[in-house]
Amino acid sequence: MRGWRISAVAIVIAIVAWDLAIHLSGNTLLPGPLAVARALGELAVSGRLARYAIASLFRVTWGFALAVVVGIPLGLVLGWFARGGRTIGPILQFVRPISPLAWIPLSILWFGVGDAAAVFLIFIATVLPLTLTAMHAARGVHHVHVEAARNFGLSSAAIVRRVLLPSALPELIGGIRIALGIAWLVVVAAEMIAVNSGLGFLIVDARNAGDRYDLVVAGMVAIGVIGLVLDNALRALANSPVVSGRRA
């Protein structure tokens, strides 16, 4: 509870400092906290806030789920079988530094302007970090545990289920948490270019529709709040007894 109180005080101080900075600078372009709060109310009443948030979450869900389904099993296999990791690993390391935004022209060329392009960008942005995290987690499994399981007569499938996955799960959850943050960043950027809905589109549309900077900042606040909720949900999962191995 104390941590939450400190965070709440910090947020209040930041809002007050924001309001003071606007008044002292005399800047009329950047909206103050009250203007942004009114803009959030306007978006909520009109239904656009919920509609755009759901659109963004829809794209993140599909793109990120595909990345998890492909990246984690692939990474575990490459990490478990050293020869495969040595063969494919350099290719993954070569592709990983390429910015997901560099794929935008190709995604539009292949999928057009719509949800598929945004889902593809999220998939590309997150599948490689998840694959590499899973590779590292599989390589971190202690060989003593594997040999002990074999001595007890466990099959390869049982070793994967009862040794590999439990040992790798905490690191996998940490990697998933980081990758989800990347997915949330990428969907906003993709929606500014490749689609005509979502919170990223809201920001661009508000900027083009008569310089509604109050709506621009309101969209930014909504993005931050949703991202914080998603991160806290995964943090709670990572700290749960099932994942961390601690007893409740």
Rounded distance, CA 91 to CA 107, Å? 21
Domain spanning 34-244: which superfamily? MetI-like (1.10.3720.10)
CA distance 238 to 176: 10
Per-residue model confidence (pLDDT) at position 146: 66
Q: What pLDDT digit, counting tens, does each position of 194-210 carry?
A: 778 888 888 888 877 76
Lowest model confidence (mean pLDDT) among 55-64, 199-208, 232-241: 232-241
Q: Is pTM beyond 0.85 here?
A: no
For residues 117 and 107, is the Cβ–Cβ distance under 8 A? yes
Band of pLDDT at residue 22, cut at 50, 70 and 90: confident
Would you state the pLDDT for residue 112?
81
Q: For tokens 């971190």, name the residue.
A: 140
* Span 92-106, pLDDT tens digits: 888 878 888 888 888
What rounded mean pLDDT belongs to the chain?
81
Residue 1 pLDDT exceeds 70: no
* pLDDT reading at 156 higher than 70: no
